Amino acid sequence: MVIWNAARITAEEKRLTGVLRDFASRSGQVIVLSTQSWDWRELCDVNVYAEGNPRFSRVFPAEGFDIDPQWLLRWNGLPGTVAYGKLEGDVMGRAKPVLWARDLETVVMAHVPIASGGETILFSQLNVQDRVLTDPVAARLLVHLLEWDF
């Protein structure tokens, strides 16, 4: 399941937290694509730090993310934002970082534990939504995320 725009999740949809947890517990993959904020604490108590709108033109893979690092450096070599915001909060102590920017503490993609469960959600601050229709690298990255067995 992909959460394309977290800002548009309704209160009614948030009441389905148990269904989503059950889906994840049965090896279902839940991916949250780049968001300026996150307020679905019943599902995952992570913070997205986007104050001052931090943008990154390159990100770096942590161990185990098998993607061409050139894809993570300025979309197609052109200036632009590859990722924005970073993931924070106490839950990040139990998260598994996948991508980082600037330094190892600036995590922009991670497997983050679901609230009250052992399952994880993949949070990705990659700016794919804005570029997926116009940039083949962004499109390939999105397909890779959807196919990735994490």
The DSSP secondary structure of 106-148, one letter per residue, reads EEEEEEEEPTTSS-EEEEE-B--TTTTTT-HHHHHHHHHHHH-
The residue-averaged pLDDT of 105-125 equals 91
pTM, two decimals, is 0.90
Please write the tens of the pLDDT for every residue from 14-48: 999 999 999 998 888 999 999 989 999 999 999 99
User: Is the pLDDT at 116 greater than 90, yes or no?
Assistant: no
Task: Identify the weakest region by mean pLDDT among 19-23, 76-80, 133-137.
Answer: 76-80
The residue-averaged pLDDT of 60-88 equals 78
